[in-house]
Amino acid sequence: MASKSNPHNNSALQVHSLSVFYGDKPALWEIDFELKQGKKIGILGPNGSGKSTLMKTIMGLIKPASGYVKILGEPLSNVRSKIAYVPQKESVDWDFPITVKEVVQMGRYKPNKLFGRLSKLDKELATKALEQLKISDLADRHIAQLSGGQQQRVFLARAICQEADIYFMDEPFTGVDAATEETIIGIIDELAAEGKTIIMVHHDLNSAQEYFDHIVMLNTRLICCGSTAEVYNQENIKSAFGSQLTILSEIGNKINELNYPVREAGESDS
Reported as type and span, the H/E element at residue 222 is: strand 221-227
What's the CA gap between 109 and 106, in Å, rounded? 5
Please report which confidence band the pLDDT of residue 19 belongs to, taking 50, 70 and 90 as the band edges.
Answer: very high
Contact 192, 200 (CB under 8 A): no
Predicted TM-score (pTM) of the model is: 0.82
Q: Which domains does the chain have, with CATH numbers?
A: 11-257 (3.40.50.300)
CA neighbor of 157 nearest in space, from 174, 176, 136: 136
For 37, half-sphere exposure in the C-beta direction (CA atoms, 13 angstrom radius) is 18
CA neighbor of 134 nearest in space, from 61, 175, 186: 186
Please report which confidence band the pLDDT of residue 265 belongs to, taking 50, 70 and 90 as the band edges.
Answer: very low
Please tell me the predicted confidence (pLDDT) of residue 262. Answer: 43
Please report which confidence band the pLDDT of residue 177 belongs to, taking 50, 70 and 90 as the band edges.
Answer: confident
68-91 per-position pLDDT tens digit: 999 999 999 999 989 999 888 766
What does the pLDDT average to over 220-242?
93
